[in-house]
Structure 1
Amino acid sequence: MKSFRRLSKSKIGTGILILFLLLILASFAVSDISNLRSGGSLPQNTLAKVGDAELTAAELDFAMQRRLAQLRQQNPQATYADLAGDFDAVVNSLIQERTLWAYARKHGFTVSKKLVDAEIVKLPGVQGLDGRFSEEAYQGFLQQQRITDAQLRREIETALLQRLVLTPVAANARLGQSFARPYANLLLERREGELGLLPFAAFTGGAAPTPQELDAFYRQNAARYTIPERRVLRIARLTEAQLGAIAPTEQEVAAYYQANQATYGGSQTRVLSRASLPDQAAAAGIAARAKAGAANFAAAAAPAGFSAADVSLGPQSRQQLAALAGEAVAAQVFSAPAGTVVGPVQSSTGFDVIKVESISTATGRSLDQARSEIVAKLTVDKRKEALADLVGKVEDQLGEGRTFEEVAQANRLPVVVTPALTRSGIAVDQPDFKLPTDYAGMPAFGFDLGVDDDPVVESLPNEGGYALLDVTDVIPAAPAPFARVAAQVRTDFIAKRAADRANAAATTILQTAARGGSLADAVRSAGISGIRAPEGIDLRRGALSQFAQQGQEVPPPLRILFTLTPGKAQRAAGPSGIYLVKLDRVTQGDATSNPTLIAQQLTVLNRAVAEELAVQWLSAAQKELGVTRNEDAIKAARQRILQGS
């Protein structure tokens, strides 16, 4: 788990983690794939089997860990309990992945090692000081990300297999406009009615709560005033201060300079004349005349039918000439002095004769001029490598059984001891205590450790290095003493009483409205002071889509408006009061004159059809291969992961 969290916090790791959801069907409604059979013949640690591909409990554990890591990027206080709604989807997604793998193996779809290697060399962080792929840097990358070569290759192979096998299935789904028009009509549906609010503030009056009422409320709502579990942490930061002086050697600086001549050496161009013929003898004739002192290269090439415009190439870089005639020709031409006639030499177009008319070299930077820049770059790289080595040294020491104190002392690590902290980092007994910003994620990580667990090394955000984390005490959750929360209990009691009164008033108003008349008249007849009269509302269904576009939920009163039948009224709870909604009339939509809206809905439907095609493909593949689920093992895994038992 600790290694996965490290992976989730780096840019590279984030890219790898995305592969977990790369399968198209991870976001599909796959619960309707029903050709799965339960089987008691599977081993206890095997949750499911598709063809010859198995899903093990360890693989599910890893998947749930990565899902939790993703969730904690938005909510650092998230726990496995927050993933209860995702558990079945994760299991189904993993079974779908096995389906893809088993089907591909059965039918000869393979992802070559060369394809995977090509993806690996693109990863930042796997290059050496010369900018090229380095096996040493790659091993360091795997160690830093806490992932094995096999795991990384599996992730990449899965993504490639999905791209090659599954994506084409859903690529060309097309429906006619007649399918989209009813949906477009629905978006233009218009609803008119009334909307009112019974604010809780209008119901807060009345007698002050008695001590007996407050005590009873406190006991009935003890969970609300429970101080969550807290943990005392020790954090030792692994910083560059422990690295000492680090600088690249002269050999490393020179090697980097030579490997990056395109950056430091300047760009040379040559003005060239060129004749290319399929006949080597004819090309040799041009070369002989040019070398024998012809007036110019054009005159030497004229007997072979070339004009001056035909042979003039103008300024060419080595890369340009290589693209035109091939690297072998470019190598000879760019190693020759000005005035030289090169050829005949075989090129990509025949046999070439080329004259170097002149040479122009852009001003580059010498090694001495570029030294400070290169030294700064290599120093940063070497310090990163040295810090990674320090992390490895610390983890090796922990693996040898050394204590937190011994490791911190041996490596001169500065130690911070926190007061008892909640998962979110709050010190209930010391409200003014604040963790350093870099340590903000440590409390959540500490809740994955126990007092008897070995310390772990965690990554710090924003490439801030690493920290050694240890838990020294665990304080169980318990209700706060009444005296400490008395003021909050009183506030909550009054708020609850106001909410109960507002709901009772809403019941009366809705009963009145149900007998006929407007919602405004029903509110007025209730005789409650401090309440504004309901207002008219006129809305098209399509307007609700703006909330989804902004990543927001549709407000409850608007959602209710589009579920009511004319003449009906209903309530909806809001943060500041009770909403009252009444629908008066519905006007059906007609998108006939709005082809743009129909086209938009057609796009949405085509996407849905593509997803459904992929679902059906997987369903067919599972029927062919046979899928067995070990429901007892899955149930046990759910309880173990989500409930920690």
Structure 2
Amino acid sequence: MLESIRENSQGVVAKSILGLVILTFAVAGVGSYTSQVDTSVATVNGVKITQSEFDRAFQAQRNRMQQQFGEMFDTLSSDANYMANLRNNVLDNLINEALIDQNSNDLAIRVSDEKLKQAIREMPEFQVDGSFDNDRYLALIQQAGFFQSSDFRDYLRVEMTRRQLTQSLLSTEFDLPYRQELTSALQNQKRNIRYAVIDAEQFKAQVEVTDEEVSAFYQDNQDRFQNQEQVKVDYVVLSVNDYAQDVVVSDEEISAYYEENIEAYSTPEQRRVSHILIESGEDADAAKAKAEAILARIQAGEDFAELAKTESDDMFSGENGGDLEYLEKGVMEESFEVAAFALENVGDVTEVVETSFGFHIVKLTELTDAQVEELASVSPDIKEMLANDKAQGIFFEKQQEAAQLAFEVPDSLEDAANAVGVEVQTSEWLSRFGNDAPFDNAQIIEVAFDDVLINDQVNSDVIEVSEEEVVFVRVNEYQAATVKPLSEVSEDIKTQLIAEKATTAADVQAAALLASFKAGEDVNEQLTALNSSFESKVDVARFGADIDGAVRREAFTLPHPAEGVVSASTVTMSNGNIALVEVEAVTAGEASVNPNLAQQQTQMLATAAYAAYVKALRVDADITRKEVIESTNVL
């Protein structure tokens, strides 16, 4: 059916009707729809945060977390509560950014056009061989979704304004030495402890888990037992490298390119000059006479640099013996430039030269003749470049040919692949994250899971992976997300419930032991009955890996022991066992001033100050928010 629609939509009448439908919808339908339906997810002082803005921010956060956690994020993303919290956090951040933008506007904080241009030119992403490259700039911002350079400038201006406000706030924070000493003393503190571990494993034999409990846990936690949706695709990869090996570049082509671009292989003459300036002032004749007198002294053998230091009215260059560094044409006034470029040998000095600034004496201090690289030395580079350009041309033609056939024959990639001389490949099962190349590319995965490709079984448009590689895909098989049957997960649930009940039983025993221990009773026999005993540790540090982290944290949470009072408690360890922990003695730590610690504490203070600033903005703001859901357009 889809192919029939494609064919019948090519006629003049069909196109005219389609144009009228689109125009009608654009003028009437879209306008009425957008005016009646509020798609915002929050409003901040009357300014709406749209669903599309939320979707972009949420997708960006998901991508960052996927990179950070890898395959573990698949498990996290299957937890409905976790993802709901993530969505709320993303919305909170958008609200905070809106408040900061509004406050920046109220404070009249601005980023000038010149500063914005400078920032763009200095961004390493847009540089080639250390210099700003406008073509690379336009290509990269378009890949990032900014199809107009003004869109990217507006985005960057907002980001720089936010940064300017927050940095001005954070830079006011500082830490005091006494706080550093107190913190270092606490960090260096040591404690003598003893603890006994009550193994939960011994209670598992006494635990019973019913089928009803397993079923109830399954019903309450179905989000934990989901099979993620998966897709298997047929795909075609086109790469510049596929065509580069067949490209031939002749010597004539290399020579022609060299002649046409000879300036690229030439180093212009470089000359460095110094000068002595006598400003005209109110009496130009006197100034000229003074300059001529200085010239006579130079010609008599006096040192040019010393005279520049004592006589020149250009104080900045005079301090350096009159040095103006390397002279470029078009920078100085014509009379100065003509005289300077007329000097032939290092050490030559001009006659007195008049400009609008006054009267100059110019000396040539360094001279490097113009040089041209020989064709033989640059021929390999030219050949490689021309070969790449030819391969790029072929690549583009093949890409267009494949795109046209993939559209015209939408039910298979074979025609497109045969036409450009590549093979159709089939992927393994793919999920939304954690795939191997080339499917580690978010753009390919977004297309592969697109509803149109899944439901209509058509070929994709060209997907640009990079400037040198494109991909076409079509869905081969699709498996929707499903909840695993209870029969498949019941044993895992039972094992988990047994472990939880065993930990609870161990905790009950530990609580009874703690009560007896704090009452002054000897609990060694009770510990022996539970296959446990006290283990002592001396000079336990706040940070380390020699004991369980939960035990260590609890030991440094408990109060200092006092006469007649037992400083003890119980804590659940990472493996589900319960530990009875007692602090027997505390050794004060040595106080010191550590620059790294000072920096850390300053950062903590700055973070707290920023949080307080945002909180204050929220208190005075009119904020309404809606429940946010994950859009179907977001991976």
Q: TM-score, normalised by structure 2?
A: 0.66
* 1:139-150 superposed matches below 5 A: 139-149=138-148, 150=150
SS at match of 1:60: helix
Q: Which residue of 1 aligns with 2:380?
A: 372
Q: Which residue of 2 aligns with 1:72?
A: 66
1:155–1:586 Cα change, 3 Å: farther
1:521 aligns with 2:524: yes
One-letter identity of the residue aligned with 2:584: R
Offset from partner CA, 1:570-622 (integer Å, 9 cap, x none): 242434x6251412335384x7x62416x876655544443444445455556
- 1:70 shift after superposition: 1.4
Cα distance in 2 between the residues matched to 1:621 and 1:497: 49
Q: Which residue of 1 aligns with 2:345?
A: 338
Offset from partner CA, 1:492-544 (integer Å, 9 cap, x none): 9778757755764564355335322799825752254xx7x542234667x34
One-letter identity of the residue aligned with 1:100: I
8 Å CA contact retained: 2:214, 2:494: yes
One-letter identity of the residue aligned with 1:610: A
Q: Which residue of 2 aligns with 1:550?
A: none
* 1:450-489 superposed matches below 5 A: 450=451, 451-452=454-455, 455=460, 465-477=469-481
SS at match of 1:121: helix
One-letter identity of the residue aligned with 1:449: D
Q: Which residue of 1 aligns with 2:28?
A: none
Q: Which residue of 2 aligns with 1:610?
A: 606
- 1:193 shift after superposition: 2.3
1:352 aligns with 2:360: yes
Q: TM-score, normalised by structure 1?
A: 0.65
Cα distance in 2 between the residues matched to 1:102 and 1:285: 63
One-letter identity of the residue aligned with 1:416: Q
One-letter identity of the residue aligned with 2:476: T
Cα distance in 2 between the residues matched to 1:623 and 1:216: 45
SS at match of 2:352: strand
Q: Which residue of 2 aligns with 1:594?
A: 591
SS at match of 1:342: coil
1:623–1:195 Cα change, 3 Å: closer
1:509–1:413 Cα change, 3 Å: same
Cα distance in 1 between the residues matched to 2:597 and 2:129: 52
Q: Which residue of 2 aligns with 1:158?
A: 158
**Structure of larger gyration radius:** 2
1:441–1:214 Cα change, 3 Å: farther
Cα distance in 1 between the residues matched to 2:379 and 2:321: 29
Structure 2: segments with no counterpart, 5+ residues: 1-34, 560-565
8 Å CA contact retained: 1:187, 1:540: no
Cα distance in 2 between the residues matched to 1:316 and 1:302: 9
* 1:235-384 superposed matches below 5 A: 235-241=235-241, 245=247, 258-259=263-264, 265=267, 268=270, 275-278=276-279, 298-299=299-300, 306=307, 320-322=325-327, 333-334=340-341, 336-338=343-345, 341-345=349-353, 351-356=359-364, 359-361=367-369, 365-376=373-384
Of all paired residues, the percent bearing the same amino acid is 15
SS at match of 1:192: strand
SS at match of 1:639: coil
Cα distance in 2 between the residues matched to 1:444 and 1:376: 34
Q: Which residue of 1 aligns with 2:195?
A: 195
SS at match of 1:337: coil
Cα distance in 1 between the residues matched to 2:93 and 2:183: 30
8 Å CA contact retained: 1:170, 1:610: yes
Q: Which residue of 2 aligns with 1:92?
A: 92
Offset from partner CA, 1:200-252 (integer Å, 9 cap, x none): 7778999xx9xx99999799769787654332222322311465649797676
1:627 aligns with 2:622: yes
8 Å CA contact retained: 2:308, 2:321: no
1:299–1:157 Cα change, 3 Å: same
1:126–1:226 Cα change, 3 Å: closer
* 1:408-423 superposed matches below 5 A: 408=417, 411-423=420-432
The answer to which of 354-363 and 101-110 deviates more is 354-363
Cα distance in 2 between the residues matched to 1:382 and 1:337: 45
1:583–1:389 Cα change, 3 Å: farther
Offset from partner CA, 1:85-132 (integer Å, 9 cap, x none): 333332222223223333344454333333323333334565699966
- Kindly tell me the number of residue pairs found equivalent between the two proteins: 558
Q: Which residue of 2 aligns with 1:11?
A: none
* 1:385-400 superposed matches below 5 A: none
SS at match of 1:587: strand
The answer to which of 155-164 and 369-378 deviates more is 369-378
8 Å CA contact retained: 2:551, 2:581: no
Offset from partner CA, 1:367-423 (integer Å, 9 cap, x none): 542332355467668867986897788778878995662655555554321344455
1:559 aligns with 2:553: yes
Offset from partner CA, 1:235-291 (integer Å, 9 cap, x none): 322311465649797676667663575xxx388566x67544336768877998999
